[in-house]
Amino acid sequence: MLLLRQLHEAALRRLLAPAGGAAAAKPKASEVLSRHLRQRGLPHWTSYCVKYSAVRNDQFGLSHFNWQVDGANYHVLRTGCFPFIKYHCSRAPRRDLALQNAAFTALKLLNAGIPTLLYGIGSWFLVSVTETVHTSCGPVTIYFLNKEDEGAMY
């Protein structure tokens, strides 16, 4: 998995390299996730995309996992869908998600990421709402395919 991660990071650096300048500091994707959930008041669920170019991808290899924020646990489905990283978060009790994580990761490897690439390209055209998440490295824009109703259970 380490070799795959290194290859992935090298490819993204090449694709997303700034033209003629040094890269600005970027927050970790995990920081954006936590801060977004806090900004929303720890919602029951949320689903958003963040550009690869806006964050450091510190959650590479995680497809389905628990994420703790201020005492609330979330089940997070996460996938790279270039040019985005897609997150779907549902507040739920902590449980062992290792088997699901391995299964989703295997599926992405088996299909060579083609469906997720198509999803990313499609998302680019369907984004209808944006929100700014304030991080330690400055603001980061996240993208939604539809407007989320605050307080909605589903």
| 31-71: pLDDT as tens digits | 999 999 999 999 999 999 999 999 999 998 899 999 999 99
pTM of the model: 0.83
Q: What is the largest CA-CA distance in the chain?
A: 47
Rounded to whole angstroms, the Cα distance separating 107 from 147 reads: 29
Q: Model confidence over 82-104: pLDDT tens digits?
A: 999 999 999 999 999 999 999 99
Closest CA to 59 of 40, 82, 31: 31
Average pLDDT score over the chain: 87
